[in-house]
Structure 1
């Protein structure tokens, strides 16, 4: 999560230097929105700035995908543990008390 926040802050900082404050890098339409952005004075983003932000979006998307994989694995493990704990043989030992 810390790495995701760092990438988001870096992107927002780069855009803020161009007068852009209404861009959310975590939204799914981030690439489309990047193409539509205009600087504070109405110009398109400089090519080098757009390329730098695009590379940063690549890194952010990698982190987002990694987080999703980890969350999916966690959810699968929790579901398996929940299913195991509700089996009759798992509960049978508790009745003896």
Structure 2
């Protein structure tokens, strides 16, 4: 299958973070950072001849630096699981 990829929508969200979640994100920073690169196209949802899913990029801010936290998917769902500072999300379509 040949996939054609394009951005449909890009959205920015701001979240307040909780103190205990802040440290939780920090511990998982390196682990998920690698998953962001190696499993970028790992999950998908088929719907007829295309699959459609959401990307969520979450960061936190510390000492004037933005740290990557986690990258995850939700299908047709607007629920945000993590309570960090910044979450970036966009919708993408894949056709074949």
TM bin, normalised by shorter chain, reads under 0.3
TM-score by length of 1: 0.22
Counting strand residues as a fraction of each chain, which structure ranks higher?
A: 2
Counting helix residues as a fraction of each chain, which structure ranks higher?
A: 1
- Specify which structure has the bigger relative contact order, considering alpha-carbon pairs within 8 angstroms and separated by 6 or more residues: 2
TM-score by length of 2: 0.22
